[in-house]
């Protein structure tokens, strides 16, 4: 599995998981409970969205859609490497 994005924004996380599922991309979220426990206070612990190696290209297209929709707003942090 490959990390698609890290975020401490639960709304973005829910939206992204839904869009990935609609695109037929299975995603796992690592550290979601730890991230929400600290409410984003610890930058070292953020939820990580992971997808299969074979799905990373399509998943990045979905992520790009999110960035286009988010343009001009100030949402929670969405770090992609």
Residue appearing with tokens 């695109």: 23
Could you tell me which residue, 42 or 21, shows the higher pLDDT? Answer: 21
Any idea of the CA torsion for 79, 14, 52, 77, to the nearest 10 degrees? 0
By residue range, what is the domain housing residue 13? Answer: 2-72
The DSSP bridge partners found for residue 79 are 6
- The domain tally of the chain equals 1
What CATH number did the domain enclosing 10 receive? 3.30.70
Kindly tell me if the per-residue pLDDT of 74 is higher than 70.
no
- 62 is a domain residue: yes
- Give 33's pLDDT tier (boundaries 50, 70, 90): low
| β-bridge partners, 50 | 3, 28
Give domain status of residue 20, yes or no.
yes
Residue 72 has pLDDT above 50, yes or no: yes
Give the separation between CA 28 and CA 33, rounded to whole angstroms: 13
pLDDT at 42 over 70: no
Q: What gap in Å lies between CA 44 and CA 51, rounded to an integer? A: 20
Q: Is residue 50 part of a domain?
A: yes
Q: Is residue 25 part of a domain?
A: yes
């Amino acid at each position: 599995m490959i990390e698609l994005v890290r975020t401490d924004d639960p709304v973005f996380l829910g939206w992204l998981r839904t869009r990935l599922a609609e695109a037929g991309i299975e995603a796992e979220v690592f550290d979601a409970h730890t991230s929400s426990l600290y409410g984003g206070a610890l930058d070292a612990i953020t939820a990580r969205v992971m997808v299969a190696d074979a799905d990373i290209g399509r998943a990045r297209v979905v992520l790009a859609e999110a960035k286009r929709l988010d343009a001009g707003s100030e949402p929670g942090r969405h770090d992609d490497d």
